[in-house]
Amino acid sequence: MVEWNDGWTIYIWLISGVCILIAVVIGLRWASQNEQFDEDIKYLVFDDNDRDKMDPEEFKKYQIATAKQEARRTELLKEKHEASQS
């Protein structure tokens, strides 16, 4: 087995650290391009039966967030359908 001098250890750590940083940047870029940072996503776990458990303001936010998500879903499905047609 080949023995490496102690000087190589720092380079292995540096290469590993750079690879991790590159992976983090790629992950954050992917998340931002795929709408993963939506703060209103928390309202999508509710439904109309939760009206009595929520403040009127929160229920209104729930309705807006749900309508926006449904519209975006319809838009994406339409784009996917058009892409498969061509």
For the chain, the DSSP string reads -PPPPTHHHHHHHHHHHHHHHHHHHHHHHHHHHTT---GGGGGGG--GGGGGGS-HHHHHHHHHHHHHHHHHHHHHHHHHHHHHH-
Map out the domains of the chain as residue ranges.
1-37, 38-86
Largest CA distance in the chain: 71
Residue 46 pLDDT level (bands cut at 50, 70, 90): confident
With cut-offs at 50, 70 and 90, classify the pLDDT of residue 4: low
Least reliable range by pLDDT among 5-9, 44-48, 62-66, 71-75: 5-9
- Where does the pLDDT of residue 7 fall: very low under 50, low under 70, confident under 90, or very high at 90 and above? confident
Residue with structure tokens 């795929």?
A: 34
The answer to whether 40 and 61 have CB atoms below 8 angstroms apart is yes
